[in-house]
Structure 1
């Protein structure tokens, strides 16, 4: 039964936790709400607040348990259901999340926050039409809400409406997590750039830069002198872009220019449509690396590079290496691990270091990785930066995609309109790591037989 009047000690712990939450002292808030919930097991609010803190701490499983306790202790509550739906979404338990979020909206149909949470979940569930309709309604109610406008743009991009989607993509510059850089001088707005020096600003991550670098030759083809700003790790690779007048690393003073634009704005400024994506490859080439060579063993029929882990936030782009071992069954294929970062330790942990060669220690830059990729017959990756790089180099690349993937890959096609040499292998369910690998293993066996 709900606690009508919680004990004073529990109330004191709850009040102190609430203040700690407001102050951003998350660990202190967790301790206080936990104390209140333990002292008053029937106090729904204590359990619900503890769930919110645990989710913030990256403990969604425990958060879901707290929300269930809150619902069991009290009456059906829209806020608790919506928060539980968000935690279930974090865990990839999408059907359960949809049930909770739909119930929250039914209980409080006028609450835009609950509707927004449901719309994001529906996008993950690949119900893009319904998600877009909800987001459009929310933007009508809150036209200045950059977060909702941004997600509406992503919905349009998922649906292949690139003209509207890339126009809405400009809302990213108004997101609190992505503030506009204070750059002097006029911004290029898509008019005739002939004869002008246009500075393209680095703005997003490695993968975005690799994907949108294809627009440098297009802008140069319209008569612009293009200066590209890039992250230092990609400077040597990008130096070979066709049409590039100058390159500057991010943080350094750029040369004189007439106007500027963010690199990720070029799809919009150059009017990209889904049926006319500039997809000529290769548009990147690896710089020479005379001392970086692959030494194929006798009998090799196929040289394959493998990357099994990328970023884990905001969405996990990794794969258990154990589930990829079936790909290594045929000794005619030589596998080269291209994995960098902490997950490279998976090689030794799983014993896969006895089944493939580790090229990671020799890869100090994107230029190094590009050089190796150009000497491989195939690249297999879940990391999207590696996928973009292989695609931009025009190399055959197979991409493993988690059930919830980025707008660039959409949800159904087995190929990508951005990269003609790319093939996509998708999870049929969020927890299924074996089916796409089995399909890939069969395709790999066929490819080796063809080479043999």
Structure 2
């Protein structure tokens, strides 16, 4: 029977086309290319020689971090020599680094069938499962790696990383301590212990483990990077910089290190250099990077007075609101501006930027990455863009120093009729200021939870009710149980309404917020909503934020005060006490 779906020697894969397919994350086309390989065919000696040539090219490209091009070469090698499981292993790793995790998993599984439970394959599949957030599956793979070779430190460090991702810090530390007892001279184990202890107990507790790793290998760039990141993650940006600078010098092309470096530079107020380094957030090798599926050239700051520019949306709702503070700058420079945003922001943004075209983004999640697609640019009535810029990149062009943020006024405009509606509702509560509060976010991870509070942590503010204030719920998730407990245990009423969805109806949430007199919140989208409309607010922070640029004030929102815990054990009591005094002054209730 003829194998119509299989490639023959006269049907080579088209490398440029395959490269574009990998770059765009098109898993189906990659899998189709692999499926068309005739696995039963015996390669000729000439084909084996050509396969080796492709493997050599792939090795050079991979060493240059050109993973897309390397993957295309490896696909060629696999077509020529389909029985080589090692080629599939290397292809899987390169696809993973290129950002196509789903295709990489398929390749690894194919290799696993060809080679059996090979140690490298088990480890590779574990990494891919971890990238996709499949932590239980990754844990099983790493346990098998340890079982087959307990002396391989990668199994222990990877298993500890999974435990850490689950918030199981003690188990992660125990895993690494056991491995270190068997191999005390391995720097990778010591630095992994440093990462885990830093996340669980703080940078100062972790520093001895990083230092031991560096004693064993002074040029271990990952240890330098992670020690710097440990301080940066606590908002101790100045302390982090020497470690990150050393890591950048050792491995200048690592995007995660460069992103941490950017955060610390911004955190100490070095905006010009910090914004330049912040571009590394877009590197496709970073897990959190966004893929923009279009071929538009990037705006680099040149004259655009006769051009149409597309501002591409990057991150979550809070960041989208913050980044919108620079959109008017672009509108004033461009012939026309197209603003891409979450569907929940379209009405609010269109009202706020009437000169612009505002369109919802079309987003797919593939290979654990967000992909923005732009078929909507072909719709009738949509102007055709000449250039694009990611929303977070505008600041490199228009906010070169902290003083340049002074122009930020109330740049987002709520619906005045809906503001009047909510103000009427709030007035019905009674006389006195209406104070919105938010104490937690909607997406909770072990890292994010460090900056969240319980409703009972707002105890210092509760006496404002006796002084004439009224509390209004600004959380965007179900808080009914918290509200009931607050009323039962403290006698404090947190007012809420069932006919508004503050997560999904953001234009309505903006009107709701604009009707308040004041807001007290953790760092979350509700306080960004308030700040963008210049509603007086307080942000409570468990650490310093890079976007405050070391200034000790909130540069984005002039009517917002920030109160920061200066050490972990001060959170949240100390900033809450200080913020309560400020709230009493501003509300004239003390």
Cα separation, partners in 2 of 1:110 and 1:191, compared to 1, 3 Å: same
Partner of 1:226: 337
8 A Cα contact 1:336 1:357, kept in partner: yes
- 1:295 counterpart = 2:426: yes
- 1:312 counterpart = 2:466: no
Cα separation, partners in 2 of 1:360 and 1:239, compared to 1, 3 Å: farther
8 A Cα contact 2:350 2:356, kept in partner: no
Partner of 2:196: 87
- 1:322 counterpart = 2:424: no
Unaligned runs of 5+ in 2: 1-116, 130-134, 363-374
8 A Cα contact 1:337 1:360, kept in partner: no
Partner of 2:124: 22
Q: CA separation in 1, counterparts of 2:272 and 2:454?
A: 37
Residue deviations 1:29-62 (CA, integer Å, cap 9, x gap): 6468779999xx9999987665344224442232
Give 1:439 shift.
1.8
Select the residue among 272, 296, 300 that pairs with 1:163.
Answer: 272
Cα separation, partners in 2 of 1:345 and 1:201, compared to 1, 3 Å: farther
- 1:190 counterpart = 2:190: no
SS in 2 for 1:294: helix
Partner of 1:427: 565
SS in 1 for 2:425: coil
8 A Cα contact 2:290 2:314, kept in partner: no
Select the residue among 366, 388, 397 that pairs with 1:269.
Answer: 397
8 A Cα contact 2:554 2:560, kept in partner: yes
SS in 1 for 2:295: coil
Query: Which structure: larger Rg?
Result: 2
Q: CA separation in 1, counterparts of 2:154 and 2:274?
A: 40
8 A Cα contact 1:44 1:69, kept in partner: no
8 A Cα contact 1:188 1:261, kept in partner: yes
Residue deviations 1:191-226 (CA, integer Å, cap 9, x gap): 111122211111211122111212222122224311
- 1:65 counterpart = 2:174: yes
Higher helix share: 2
RMSD (Å), alpha carbons: 3.3
Q: CA separation in 2, counterparts of 1:48 and 1:417?
A: 40
- 1:260 counterpart = 2:391: no
8 A Cα contact 1:309 1:343, kept in partner: no
Give 1:229 shift.
0.9
Cα separation, partners in 2 of 1:114 and 1:188, compared to 1, 3 Å: same
Q: CA separation in 1, counterparts of 2:202 and 2:265?
A: 25
Partner of 1:140: 249
Which one is further off, 207-216 or 241-250? 241-250
Q: Where in structure 2 are the equivalents of 1:37-48 lying within 5 Å? A: none
Q: What TM-score do you get using the length of structure 2 for normalisation?
A: 0.66
Partner of 2:224: 115
Partner of 1:5: none
Give 1:90 shift.
2.2
Q: CA separation in 2, counterparts of 1:264 and 1:349?
A: 40
Q: CA separation in 2, counterparts of 1:272 and 1:347?
A: 44
Partner of 1:284: 412
Q: Where in structure 2 are the equivalents of 1:239-254 lying within 5 Å? A: 239-242=350-353, 244-251=355-362, 253-254=376-377
Residue deviations 1:212-271 (CA, integer Å, cap 9, x gap): 212222122224311111110111110122463211111261322222211211111335
SS in 2 for 1:247: strand
SS in 2 for 1:75: coil
- 1:395 counterpart = 2:547: no
8 A Cα contact 1:221 1:243, kept in partner: no
Which one is further off, 330-339 or 79-88? 79-88
